[in-house]
Structure 1
Amino acid sequence: MRHDTTPASRSAEVLSTHHIYGAPCWVSLTSRDVRATEEFYTAVLGWQWRKAKLGDHFRIALADGSPVAGIAAVAAMWQMAVAWTPYFAVRSADEAVGRAQERGGTAAVGPISLPPGRAALLADRDGATFGIWEGALVPNWERWRRSAPAFIRLHTRDAFDAAIFYGEVLGWASAPQGCCEVTYEGDEVVLRSHGDVMARIESGALGAAPDPTIRPHWQVHFTVSDVAACARAAEAHGGSVLRETDDEAILRDADGAQFTVTSHRSP
């Protein structure tokens, strides 16, 4: 998106969602305070920052100079949940929203026009929130999809049922060139784009659970070189550690948004 909190590009050479679709193409964080968010993620993930076109409440996170995520500090102002949200590339935002609603999903925002594309914020039929984007993809698309984030994971009530919903809404495993491939591996559904794992879906979340960590939700994973160092930095800057192993830690930032750091060594 041109306002820089969802996929966008100033370059006419980048790929668009008409060439690659169905895959995760951006992640965005809704937070409460720009400065606190910048300080936390700089300490934990080493990100740098640039301003976005929508104004002072918006930022673009950079890793080694490349855009990796969007920040929108509007949770209190717009009465939105503090959360990380993945966006998926679609050929038509209007058609994707229509398909989601026909299959029991809901549209919270949009589709809205944000040149050079269109976007919407949706929830699947189990309540997990996700976004869609029609338009130009981020610069250095190949680099973004391979490393930032590592992948996203849907914790949901029924992985098979969720795969059908997202497959029909986003065009997974369809015939045209550029679509994503879906496989069933053990208890998980695995989504690949050009051979790279982009998303996983697993069963087990409870739809009415009072704890948001076990309700259906998309979890964003970022690759890091030192999981333990990220966990300690999160704790030192007002966040918390929900679970930690040698190769992975589930963290909450100072606002309460949940995300995962995954070691480069992990599969």
Structure 2
Amino acid sequence: MNHDVRPTSATKDVLSTHSVFGAPCWVSLTSRDQKATEEFYTAVLGWEWQSAKLGDRFRVALADGTPVAGIAAVASMWQMAVAWTPYFAVPSADEAVARAQERGGTTAVGPLSFPPGRAALLADRDGATFGIWEGELVADWESWREAQPAFIRLHTRDAFDAAIFYGEVFEWASDRPGCCEVRYEGGEVVLRSRGDVVARIESGALGSAPDPSIRPHWQVHFAVADVAACARAAEVHGGSVLSKGLEEAVLRDPDGAQFTVTSRRER
């Protein structure tokens, strides 16, 4: 997880993972070519960039001045897949990792200390990769949600089985104040935090499919004003359009990372 902006002490309690636990709180991209990645997402999503405290290979993307995503140009060096990964806020990284492992998940990295918090990278029992974050958030959670990420969607083998796994790991629908609400709506499992839809889980992915876009994975959706313009910019700047509709398009960046742009009207 990439960081650059520290909240003030006056807002620390409001911005901690204790206040939004179990909900997505950040998204991060592993890439090979930092310069090409920045140029692509600037052209497609209008992002600006600032340095991160973790080193030269790490950058923070800004949308209208608000930190919205982290970029880590470490895919080749660390032999990691090029992909977007969502991070979920947890009160305790150690406890969340233990719960995931007890339920058949695996841990790839961590928990490791990344001041002002701790992070880990995991996979659920169907192989979908996700991260967890304990500590102060990079930006105010509501400002981050409004700035660009619309929501995340898990494409998985069995939505109900996945909802049970994540629900137990992140204590969804528990008695704890501030926990996420889970409901089955329109053929999907829908996750809400503070009344907002923050994640969806749908069945149908194939665990043994040769195409990674068909295997279980989390897909990050970014809210944009003009879906068609984003799709055109992606193609002009070395990316590709996997599918496109009036309100949504699935894009792939030059490194191969897949993401979705969604019309702000559909949030």
> Structure 1-normalised TM-score?
0.96
Corresponding residue number in structure 1 for 2:6 = 9
Corresponding residue number in structure 1 for 2:263 = 263
TM-aligned CA deviation for residue 18 of structure 1: 1.4
* Native 8 Å contact 1:68 1:148 kept in 2: yes
* Native 8 Å contact 2:191 2:198 kept in 1: yes
Q: Kindly tell me: are residues 261 and 129 of structure 1, through their superposed partners in 2, closer, same or farther at Cα, counting changes over 3 Å?
A: same
| More divergent stretch after superposition (108-117 vs 36-45) | 108-117
Corresponding residue number in structure 2 for 1:37 = 37
TM-aligned CA deviation for residue 211 of structure 1: 0.6
* Native 8 Å contact 2:99 2:168 kept in 1: yes
Aligned length: 264
* Native 8 Å contact 1:21 1:88 kept in 2: yes
TM-aligned CA deviation for residue 147 of structure 1: 4.2
| More divergent stretch after superposition (218-227 vs 49-58) | 49-58
* Native 8 Å contact 2:63 2:147 kept in 1: no
TM-aligned CA deviation for residue 143 of structure 1: 1.5
Counterpart CA distance in 2 for 1:60 and 1:17 is: 19
Corresponding residue number in structure 2 for 1:142 = 142
TM-aligned CA deviation for residue 21 of structure 1: 0.2
* Native 8 Å contact 2:148 2:224 kept in 1: no
TM-aligned CA deviation for residue 170 of structure 1: 0.7
TM-aligned CA deviation for residue 125 of structure 1: 0.1
For the residue of structure 1 that corresponds to 2:91, the secondary structure is coil
Counterpart CA distance in 1 for 2:146 and 2:46 is: 18
* Native 8 Å contact 1:27 1:70 kept in 2: yes
Corresponding residue number in structure 2 for 1:194 = 194
Gaps of at least 5 residues in structure 1 are none
Counterpart CA distance in 1 for 2:115 and 2:232 is: 40
* Native 8 Å contact 2:60 2:71 kept in 1: yes
Counterpart CA distance in 1 for 2:16 and 2:54 is: 22
State the AA in 2 paired with 1:182. Answer: V
| More divergent stretch after superposition (140-149 vs 72-81) | 140-149
Corresponding residue number in structure 2 for 1:162 = 162
CA RMSD after TM alignment: 1.2
Counterpart CA distance in 1 for 2:18 and 2:236 is: 43
Q: Kindly tell me: are residues 191 and 147 of structure 1, through their superposed partners in 2, closer, same or farther at Cα, counting changes over 3 Å?
A: farther
TM-aligned CA deviation for residue 114 of structure 1: 1.6
Counterpart CA distance in 2 for 1:259 and 1:132 is: 20
State the AA in 1 paired with 2:186. Answer: G
Aligned-pair identity (%): 78
Corresponding residue number in structure 2 for 1:211 = 211
Deviation track 1:64-100 (CA, whole Å, cap 9, x = no partner) reads: 0110000000000000000000000001100000000
Deviation track 1:159-191 (CA, whole Å, cap 9, x = no partner) reads: 000000000001111111111000111320000
Gaps of at least 5 residues in structure 2 are none
Corresponding residue number in structure 1 for 2:68 = 68
Corresponding residue number in structure 2 for 1:119 = 119
Corresponding residue number in structure 2 for 1:221 = 221
Counterpart CA distance in 1 for 2:95 and 2:217 is: 23
TM-aligned CA deviation for residue 9 of structure 1: 2.6
Counterpart CA distance in 2 for 1:124 and 1:215 is: 12
